Chain A
Amino acid sequence: MESNIKLITDDGLRLDGRALNEMRPIKIQTGVVEKADGSAYIEWGANKIIAAVYVREAYPKHAQNIDRAIVKARYNMSGYSVEERKRPGPDRRTMEISKVVTEALESTIVLEKLPRAEVDVFIQVLEADAGTRIASLTTASVAVADAGVPMRDMVVGCTAGKAGGKIVLDLSKDEDNFGEADIPMAILPRTKKIVLLQLDGNVSQEEFDEATSMMMNAIPRISEIQRNALMSKYNVEEGE
């Protein structure tokens, strides 16, 4: 959608005052859904997303995999999470997101350690403000780790894109709506392998390289926030 909004101001900053490679603040907290085996809540800028994980015997029985686990992530948006009410239930967009998030998690969970099991990941977007799929994946992987599911690494998501002719990190809502391109990506920080990658818009191949290297630089910081969230849960118990 074309627009005349000026996304980059004359002093080279973005509309919300961030530098081109500056992330919005991120906060993650674990153990937020008591009934679930694992859970995590993230505030990523104005995004508020909660994820809960149940690990159980897959049902019905004929759906079980005898040699490995099934993973089902379900990305769901609350009716009040966006500007105009979102009709509850899955639509084409949320189904696609559920699929790519599931596949990213499946790439990191050691499936063969949990034969016949099902790892259900319920993601609820309470407030959406651009970048929900990677914020969901980032918090979902903390929730999966919180549930004690064996993983190779915790997936870290990030977006970059093009807005006002510049490559920027962690798109805001305006940049998402009126910018030229949006590139969500998720990697396993230890090996730097990409487990989720999408792109829509218009970028040259050089701009794509610029965007990915910007995200690669940001990912260790997000990874640290994830690890601190997991560890802080156990620190509390240690003191008791």
Chain B
Amino acid sequence: MPMDSNAVISEIRKNFMLESIKNGKRLDGRPLDEYREIKITENFIPKSAGSAMVELGNTKVVAGLKIEQGEPFDDTPDNGVMLLNIELLPMAFPTFESGPPSEQAIEYSRVVDRGIRESKMIDTSKLVIESGKNVWMIFVDIDVLNYDGNIIDACTLAAVTALKNAVIPGSKLGEKDFKLPVNATPVAVTMWKLGDELICDASLEEEQVSTGRITVTISEDNNIHAMQKGEIGEFSLEEIQKAIKTSSNIGNKLREKYFR
């Protein structure tokens, strides 16, 4: 997680925070597993092939798709391609810099990508124009505009929303535009360890105090499609099992609310 001058949190505040969490309530009044207000703006960028802006409290991300024709990879001639990239823009946080992607940005991108890819949300075999020669390539670009914690969940929500709205520009081939066929709705739920408790949707300050992060991505088949333990710190097997249960419950709720 990024650190800035505010990351030097006084022991008094830190202890107050941990004590409060131990009693089941966070400093902003939320229960341990409650998300901040989620606002999803679909089709935020009409020029894109599909897009969404997601606000998770003060965290703000935009996902936009471009769908173009291209050559498939040599080892998968009968599959289209999806590429996903997260930019942690320098405007999003005082210590972020422009330039090549940081390790953090790469890790986040790969975790979000894995959840979507492994849930088989997109059937890439339906994206072939000519076997081995020409396929649809889906570029998912996600920009983090403001970093206030829990980027993985916000970016997954944004990417999944954008993909669900995506239109393939078949008209470029003299055919009709058609909706990107999607088969699943993966939801990533990331939890942080504070003291002996696991909390969902950490704010920046909570991330900075935490000792360990675990992401579990589950789709409506109730199976696990991606997991990632991140940051320094350790978890017991029981904590991991608890995280899976929590992810499953919250995933169901979020799907019900935002992806009906």
The interface residues of chain A, by DSSP majority, are classed as mixed
Contact among A100, A196, A204 for B222, CB-based, below 8 A: A204
The answer to whether A103 touches B232 (Cβ under 8 A) is yes
8 Å CB interface, A54-68 against B = none
8 Å CB interface, A167-214 against B = 181, 183, 188, 191-205, 208-209, 212
The answer to whether B229 touches A197 (Cβ under 8 A) is yes
Question: Is B16's beta carbon under 8 Å from chain A?
Answer: no
- Shortest C-beta distance, A226 to chain B (Å), equals 18
The residue in B104, B109, B222, B240 that gathers the most chain A C-beta atoms within 10 A of its C-beta is B240
**Residues on A with beta carbons closer than 8 Å to the beta carbon of B118:** 181, 200-202
**Residues on A with beta carbons closer than 8 Å to the beta carbon of B228:** 100, 197-199
The answer to whether A204 touches B234 (Cβ under 8 A) is no
Question: Is A124's beta carbon under 8 Å from chain B?
Answer: no
The answer to whether B229 touches A198 (Cβ under 8 A) is yes
The residue in B221, B228, B241, B245 that gathers the most chain A C-beta atoms within 10 A of its C-beta is B228
**Residues on A with beta carbons closer than 8 Å to the beta carbon of B224:** 199, 202-205, 208
Given contacts A106-B232, A200-B118, is CB(A194)–CB(B240) below 8 Å? yes
**Residues on B with beta carbons closer than 8 Å to the beta carbon of A95:** 103, 106-107
A191 vs B117: C-alpha distance when bound (angstroms):
34
The answer to whether B106 touches A199 (Cβ under 8 A) is no
8 Å CB interface, B229-260 against A = 229-237, 240-241, 244-245, 248
Question: Considering only CB atoms, which chain B residue lies closest to A108 in the complex?
Answer: B234
The answer to whether A199 touches B226 (Cβ under 8 A) is yes
Question: Is A151's beta carbon under 8 Å from chain B?
Answer: no
The answer to whether B230 touches A194 (Cβ under 8 A) is no
Question: Is A216's beta carbon under 8 Å from chain B?
Answer: yes
Question: Is A35's beta carbon under 8 Å from chain B?
Answer: no
- Shortest C-beta distance, B106 to chain A (Å), equals 5
A212 vs B224: C-alpha distance when bound (angstroms):
14
A194 vs B244: C-alpha distance when bound (angstroms):
15
The answer to whether A197 touches B227 (Cβ under 8 A) is yes
Q: 10 more A-B contacts (CB under 8 A) besides A100-B228, A195-B229, A202-B225? A: A1-B75, A96-B107, A106-B232, A194-B237, A199-B225, A200-B227, A201-B118, A202-B223, A205-B223, A209-B241
Nearest 4 A/B pairs, CB to CB: A199-B227, A193-B234, A197-B229, A106-B232
Interface CB pairs A-B, < 8 A, 8: A1-B75, A92-B110, A191-B234, A198-B229, A200-B114, A202-B221, A209-B241, A212-B237
